[in-house]
C-alpha cells in the first residue's frame, strides 16, 4: 500500500499543527511569567522556527523540540549564532542524535553559561 504524496503532506501538516498547539500550552505552563504578555501567534511562530531549526540539527522528536524551545526562550531564538553562545554552535554541530545534542547543550550551559545575578566577568570563559 502506498500513500499518495498529497495525503502524506496533509497528515504531516495535521501532526505539526497538533504539536504546535501542544507546545504553546506546554510553554505557557512552564514559563508563565516570561510569556504572560506574549500572544499565541508569536509563540506559534517560535514553535515553527524551532521545528525548522531543529530539523537542520537532527532534533526532530517532540520531546527534544520542546527542550529546544526552552533553550530558545532562555538564550534567544538564534542562540547558536550569538558569539556569547559559541559553545552551543559547537554542540549542535556534533554528529550525534538530537537527544544527545540537547543533553550536551544542557550540560555545557550549566557549566559555562552566565547565571542570573552572577558576576559576568567570572562567567565570561567559553567552553573549548
pLDDT in tens, 37-88: 999 999 999 999 999 999 999 999 999 999 999 999 989 999 999 998 888 9
The residue count for the chain: 128
Name 79's Cβ contacts closer than 8 Å, sequence gap at least 6: 71, 72, 85, 88
Rounded Cα–Cα distance for residues 61 and 53 (Å):
13
Residue 85 confidence (pLDDT): 87
Q: What does pLDDT average to over the chain?
A: 82
Confidence tier at 123 by pLDDT (50, 70, 90): very low
pLDDT tens digits, 91-103: 999 999 999 999 9
DSSP per position, the chain: ----HHHHHHHHHHHHHHHHHHHHHHHHHH-HHHHTTS-HHHHHHHHHHHHHHHHHTT--SHHHHHHHHHHHHHH-TTGGGSGGGHHHHHHHTSSS-HHHHHHHHHHHHHHHSPPTTS-TTTT-----
Grid cell of 28 as nine digits: 505557557
In this predicted structure, what is the pLDDT of residue 14?
A: 54
pLDDT, tens digit, for every residue of 3-47? 666 654 454 455 578 999 999 999 999 999 999 999 999 999 999
Amino acid at each position: 500500500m502506498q500513500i499518495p504524496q498529497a495525503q502524506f503532506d496533509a497528515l504531516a501538516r495535521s501532526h505539526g499543527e497538533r504539536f504546535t498547539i501542544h507546545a504553546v500550552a506546554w510553554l505557557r505552563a512552564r514559563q508563565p511569567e516570561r510569556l504572560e504578555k506574549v500572544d499565541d501567534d508569536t509563540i506559534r511562530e517560535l514553535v515553527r522556527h524551532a521545528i525548522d531549526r531543529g530539523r537542520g540539527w537532527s532534533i526532530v522528536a517532540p520531546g527534544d523540540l520542546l527542550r529546544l524551545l526552552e533553550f530558545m526562550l532562555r538564550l534567544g531564538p538564534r542562540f547558536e549564532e550569538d558569539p556569547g553562545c559559541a559553545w552551543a554552535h559547537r554542540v549542535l554541530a556534533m554528529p550525534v542524535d538530537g537527544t544527545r545534542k540537547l543533553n550536551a547543550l544542557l550540560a555545557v550551559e550549566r557549566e559555562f553559561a552566565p547565571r542570573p545575578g552572577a558576576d559576568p566577568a567570572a562567567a565570561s570563559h567559553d567552553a573549548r
